[in-house]
Each structure stands twice: as structure tokens, then as C-alpha cells.
Amino acid sequence: MEVFPPRPEHAAAFRQTITALASCRPAFFSLTCGNEADRRPATLDWAARIQRETDTPVIAHLTCLGQSRDALRREVETLLDAGVANILALRGDMPRTGAPSVGFRHAAELIAELRTLRLPLCIGAACHPQGHPEAANADADLRHLREKVDAGADFLVTQAIFDVATFTAFLRRARTAGVGVPVLPGILVPAGAAQIQRFAQRCGVRLPRGLPSWFRIEEAQGGELAGLTHAAELAVALPRCGAPGVHLFTMNREEPAQRLHARLRRMTAGTRTPS
Ligand code: FAD
């Protein structure tokens, strides 16, 4: 389950969110990271707290764009001291002003650097089944993905997936390109039709034809949150298509996540889906 560290004034509410999400017994918490210097300590701090207080493994995201080698090494050592050995190594979003002139430029450089430290880390990386929005083309993007795996990534987490076909087609292409590590598909925990569309737009993901209108119809009919059934069906179907589990983008909203979890429990009747 992915969460993001709160602003200091929302710390108490975030604690409650984590307690509520932990009651779903996720296989891990995945904690995002900002590139801004003043946001980074929150990731280190909350990664340690969540792991200690929930006894659930944490995957700490670490972005590298413009970061220095020394600063990143110190952050990794802080995480390891807190018992957090799982890292999602990312570039981070490109600032509107363009790439910084110093520091790391691509996630593959960060992964290679982490491996030179010879520390006991499990390192993941991001992948973009529809192609990263900045990539010259899909083949170039896949080549760069392979570079991340060759540099030492142990697993991959996808950008949000909204249909099984996108995942299976991507997995086939990745395997053909020599990407052999486990690929965990990302699923948005939905909280309404408008939120799904905003999220997809922000991530540069195209929603399958007809899906936005379907969510709007669901919402207009009231009842359960629009998109919940669709997300639950995806979370059940993807592990049957080669995914080792799913990575849920919770957006720090415990209620939709708990509803999705309850739905999944009913649908899978006893089998466990890591998220
Ligand atoms: P990269 O792998 O570096 O790729 C970025 C682009 O550069 C791609 O177009 C790639 O094809 C291209 N590229 C790579 N190598 C080269 C090369 N050698 N030469 C030329 N081009 C190259 N962002 C955050 O800020 N914080 C988070 O916590 C966070 N968590 C995320 C979690 C998940 C699961 C995902 C999917 C994304 C997350 N992001 C996060 C967003 C991520 O930072 C952006 O998608 C970012 O734009 C790309 O990150 P990346 O690690 O895939 O970059």
C-alpha cells in the first residue's frame, strides 16, 4: 500500500490512517519521497516509524534528480539504521525549469550508485507500461528500463494500470527485452470518478475507452465508490497474469482502501494478495 508522508500539521491524522491501513495487513507499506530538500526528512522519519509501529516492511522511495552522491548515501544509511532495507529508486518528477545541472539525472544512475555501496538493499524501480511521457518512443523507454535492471533493480512497480491487457502486453514486451525481474502492477484505490481522472492525467496515463463514462454512471447511481468494483476485479485478475501481487496507490485515504480490501477478501475467499 502506497502512502505519502504528511505535512507536519497532519501528522496525527496520518498516524490514524496508517493504523487503519495496517489493519488490512498489507504485505508492505510503500512511502513516497519528494525531491524538495525540506520534504526528504519526512520520508526517512515516517519510514522508520511505520516499520517500527506497524511491524510491516516499508519500501522507502528515494528520488535522485539533482541530489548529490553524499546526501543519498547518508539517506540510505539512515534508512538501514532504522531497519528499512527496501528502496524504490526513482528519478523524480522533472521540475518545470528543466533538469538540474548537478547530481543524478536518471534512476539507473541511482541504482548503480546504490549497488556500489555494497549494502544489503532490496532495490525496486518504476516502469511505465504505456511508455514514460518524456520517452522518445516505447522501445527507447524499454531500453532504459532494461538499464535499470542491469544496474541492479530487483523488482519493478508499474505506473497505475487500468486494464489487464495493458499489463500483459507490457509484461510480454519487457520479458522479450530481457527484463526478467518481478513486475508489481500499480492500482489506484479509487475515490470517485473525478479523482480517477485527475490521477491518470497527472501521471500521464490514458484511461481505456469508455471507462471514464462508466465511472460517472456508477457515481450518478450512488452506492459504492465509483471505480471500486473495477479496481477489485483488476486486483484479482492481475496476479493471475504473472503479477506477484499488486501495489495500491491509497492517496492516504483509508476508507476507500478498507472498502477495497473488504471487497477483495470476499472475492478471493482466503487467498492473500500482497499490496
Ligand atoms: P527514469 O527511469 O530515470 O526515466 C525517466 C525518463 O528518462 C524516461 O522517459 C526514460 O525513458 C528516460 N531515460 C532513462 N534513462 C535515460 C538515458 N540514459 N538517456 C536518456 N533518457 C533516459 N515521483 C516522486 O517524486 N516521488 C515518489 O515517491 C514517486 N513514486 C513513484 C512510484 C511509482 C510506482 C511510479 C511509477 C512513479 C513514482 N514517481 C515518484 C514518479 C516518477 O518519479 C516519475 O514517473 C518520473 O518522471 C520518472 O521516474 P523514473 O524513476 O521512472 O525515471
Name the nearest CA neighbour of 43 among 13, 4, 94, 89.
4
How far is ligand 1, taken at its centre, from the CA of residue 94, in Å? 9
Distance 145 CA to ligand 1 centre (A): 10
Of 207, 187, 196, nearest to 260 by C-alpha is: 187
Tens-place pLDDT, residues 39-73? 899 999 999 999 999 999 999 999 999 899 999 99
Does the Cβ of 32 fall within 6 Å of ligand 1?
Answer: yes
The C-alpha cell of 217 is what?
A: 454512471
pTM of the predicted protein model:
0.96
What whole-number distance in Å separates Cα of residue 161 and Cα of residue 165? 9
Q: Does 126 contact ligand 1 (Cβ within 6 A)?
A: yes
- The answer, yes or no, to whether any atom of ligand 1 lies below 6 A from the CB of 265, is no
Q: Are 63 and 32 in contact (CB under 8 A)?
A: no
Q: What is the mean pLDDT of the chain?
A: 94
The CA-based diameter of the chain, rounded to the nearest angstrom, is 55
Report the distance separating Cα 129 and Cα 247, nearest Å. Answer: 14
Query: Would you tell me which CATH number, out of the four given (1.10.260.40, 3.40.605.10, 3.20.20.220, 3.20.80.10), belongs to the domain 2-268?
Result: 3.20.20.220
Quote the ligand 1 centre to 132 CA distance (angstroms): 8
Structure confidence at residue 274 (pLDDT): 55
Q: Could you identify the atom of ligand 1 that is nearest to the CA of residue 89?
A: 51
Which 8-state DSSP code applies to residue 207? P
